[in-house]
């Protein structure tokens, strides 16, 4: 019998994502001026206030207030009417030095022997359901909000948009796990108060369905476009008007959108958040490395769907376990346990090796903090960082290295494919 599966996304203006972006902007600036920084930054945003907290070990000093304000303004919170703007909000810093008890388990005389920054389990997932090896419902949800933000910045076709928004997509699957059609799309978007409620809500619904959705649909290959249909149930701002939003409407915290950040409920999640953490924290780096493994396994043809779990003990170099689940879709004559054993010989999962392989000691993290850490397009960009204490530097960095299919040949060779 056919079944339904749903995933959601939230925009860069959602309060939790505002917090994530500030935390990752701080991390990027620390890494730009001191690549060996150890950082765990948390952010709270609420009406007119930003609170920064966490632990840092670094040789650099930052103007954290200016960094936070710049992020907020770039998101689009620039007007007093929002009750939260980069130019007027208060910014309180409670950041302090990293505990030596933690640091002693991470730093070693030899970089290669660096211990894991924490215990825990991390997951990576990939499926051949989409071109970027991501679950389709989440991919569509992200793209809806990316396009909505583009329309907001253009300010022409839908001029009344404000930064806060959410999306949700429900897809019907066949018994053999093939997407059949989109059943429902939910979009809640913050907006200006521009007319009587009934008129305003009708206008917003019409614009979302007739302007936004066609722009999103056009981004997909034909077989995905065919899943869009006239019978889709649309819930557009279903609670009514949505003028009060952002950190004024709801407080935001770093790390509260971990399912949006990863696989939309498909696969699994170890529970650790990513944003604000330097790559010595395996919550982040090993989750990226596990995605890298899963994606390369699927692309190489080992299986159509793969979940990878890795686990660590704090201060210990080697992972305590590597697990693989192919959900019965394997194309090789090996058990999932045997596949996991081979994976351990192809991918070095020591923390320092992950950092090196994926180039994680670079300021590459702000771009991850909205619209998902996985399924993104690897690219090389030049980023500029300014500091009243350290001057100005430019760095060429590679974003989303864990999305590269650079181990496909090695995987094929190991599995005789």
Question: Is residue 248 annotated as involved in ligand binding?
Answer: no
Residue 396 burial class via C-beta count within 10 angstroms: exposed 0-12, middle 13-18, buried 19 and up: exposed
Residue 61 burial class via C-beta count within 10 angstroms: exposed 0-12, middle 13-18, buried 19 and up: middle
Question: Is residue 206 annotated as involved in ligand binding?
Answer: no
Tell me: the pLDDT tens digits for 303-317? 999 999 999 999 889
Question: Is residue 290 annotated as involved in ligand binding?
Answer: no
Contact 12, 261 (CB under 8 A): no
Question: Is residue 241 annotated as involved in ligand binding?
Answer: yes
Is the confidence at residue 106, as pLDDT, over 90? Answer: no
Tell me: the pLDDT tens digits for 67-100? 999 999 999 999 988 999 999 999 999 998 865 6
Q: pTM surpassing 0.75?
A: yes
Long-range pairs of 98-101 with CB within 8 A, sequence gap ≥ 24: 98/38, 98/40, 98/55, 98/56, 98/57, 99/55
Question: Is residue 8 annotated as involved in ligand binding?
Answer: no
Question: Is residue 257 annotated as involved in ligand binding?
Answer: yes
Question: Is residue 250 annotated as involved in ligand binding?
Answer: yes
Tell me: the pLDDT tens digits for 53-62? 999 999 999 9
Question: Is residue 281 annotated as involved in ligand binding?
Answer: yes
Contact 261, 373 (CB under 8 A): yes
Q: Please report the pLDDT score of residue 284 as a whole number.
A: 97
Question: What's the pLDDT band for 114 if we cut at 50, 70, 90?
Answer: confident
User: Are 16-109 and 120-128+260-414 equal in CATH topology?
Assistant: yes
* Residue 79 three-state SS: coil
List the domain boundaries for the chain: 3-10+135-245, 16-109, 120-128+260-414
Q: Please report the pLDDT score of residue 99 as a whole number.
A: 55
Q: Please report the pLDDT score of residue 109 as a whole number.
A: 55
CATH number listed for the domain at residues 3-10+135-245: 3.30.300.10
Is the confidence at residue 322, as pLDDT, over 60? Answer: yes
Mean pLDDT value across the chain: 94
The answer to whether domain 16-109 has CATH 3.30.300.10 is yes
Question: Is residue 165 annotated as involved in ligand binding?
Answer: yes
As separate numbers, helices (DSSP H) first and strands (DSSP E) second, the chain gives 13, 13
User: What span, in angstroms and rounded, lies between the C-alpha atoms of 254 and 21?
Assistant: 8
Half-sphere exposure of 6 (CA within 13 A, CB side): 9
SS (H, E, C) 246-290: HHHHCCEECCCCHHHHCCCCCCCCCCCCCCCECCCCHHHHHHHHH
SS (H, E, C) 126-163: EECCCCCCCCHHHHHHHHHHHHHHHHHHHCCCCCCEEE
Question: Is residue 242 annotated as involved in ligand binding?
Answer: yes
Is the confidence at residue 110, as pLDDT, over 70? Answer: no
Is the confidence at residue 112, as pLDDT, over 90? Answer: no
Can you tell me which residue has the tokens 């090896």? 133
Question: Is residue 156 annotated as involved in ligand binding?
Answer: no
* Residue 206 three-state SS: helix
Question: What's the pLDDT band for 1 if we cut at 50, 70, 90?
Answer: confident
CATH number listed for the domain at residues 120-128+260-414: 3.30.300.10
User: What span, in angstroms and rounded, lies between the C-alpha atoms of 227 and 217?
Assistant: 9
């Amino acid at each position: 019998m056919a079944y339904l599966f749903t995933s959601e996304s939230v925009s860069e203006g959602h309060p939790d994502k505002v917090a994530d972006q500030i935390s990752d902007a701080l991390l990027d600036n620390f890494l730009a001026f001191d690549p060996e920084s150890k950082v765990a930054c948390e952010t709270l945003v609420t009406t007119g206030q930003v609170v920064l907290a966490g632990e840092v070990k670094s040789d650099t000093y930052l103007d954290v207030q200016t960094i936070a304000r710049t992020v907020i303004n770039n998101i689009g919170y620039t007007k007093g009417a929002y009750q939260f703007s980069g130019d007027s909000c208060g910014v309180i810093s409670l950041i302090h030095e990293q505990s030596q008890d933690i640091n002693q388990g991470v730093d070693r005389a030899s970089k290669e022997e660096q211990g894991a920054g924490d215990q825990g389990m991390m997951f990576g997932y990939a499926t051949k359901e989409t071109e970027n090896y991501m679950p389709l419902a989440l991919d569509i949800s992200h793209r809806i909000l990316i396009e909505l933000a583009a329309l907001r910045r253009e300010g022409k076709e839908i001029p009344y948009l404000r930064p806060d928004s959410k999306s949700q997509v429900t897809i019907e699957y066949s018994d053999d796990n093939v997407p059949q059609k989109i059943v429902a799309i939910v979009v809640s978007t913050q907006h200006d108060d521009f007319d009587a409620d009934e008129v305003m809500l009708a206008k917003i619904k019409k614009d979302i369905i007739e302007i936004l959705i066609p722009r999103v649909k056009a981004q997909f290959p034909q077989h995905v476009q065919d899943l869009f249909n006239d019978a889709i149930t649309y819930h557009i701002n279903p609670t009514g008007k949505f003028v009060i939003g952002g950190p004024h409407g709801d407080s935001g915290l770093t790390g509260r959108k971990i399912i949006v950040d990863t696989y939309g409920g498909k696969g699994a999640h170890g529970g650790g958040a990513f944003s604000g953490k330097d790559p010595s924290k395996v919550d982040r780096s090993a989750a990226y490395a596990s995605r890298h493994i899963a994606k390369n396994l699927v692309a190489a043809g080992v299986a159509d769907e793969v979940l990878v779990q890795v686990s660590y003990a704090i201060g210990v170099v080697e992972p305590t376990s590597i697990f693989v689940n192919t959900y019965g879709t394997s194309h090789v004559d090996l058990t999932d346990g045997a596949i996991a054993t081979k994976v351990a010989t192809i991918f070095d999962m020591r923390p320092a090796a992950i950092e090196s392989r994926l180039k994680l000691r670079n300021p590459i993290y702000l771009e991850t903090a909205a619209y998902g850490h996985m399924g993104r397009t690897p690219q090389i960009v030049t980023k500029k960082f300014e500091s009243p204490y350290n001057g100005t530097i430019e760095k060429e960095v590679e974003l989303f290295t864990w999305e590269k299919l650079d181990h496909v040949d090695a995987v094929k060779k190991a599995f005789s494919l």
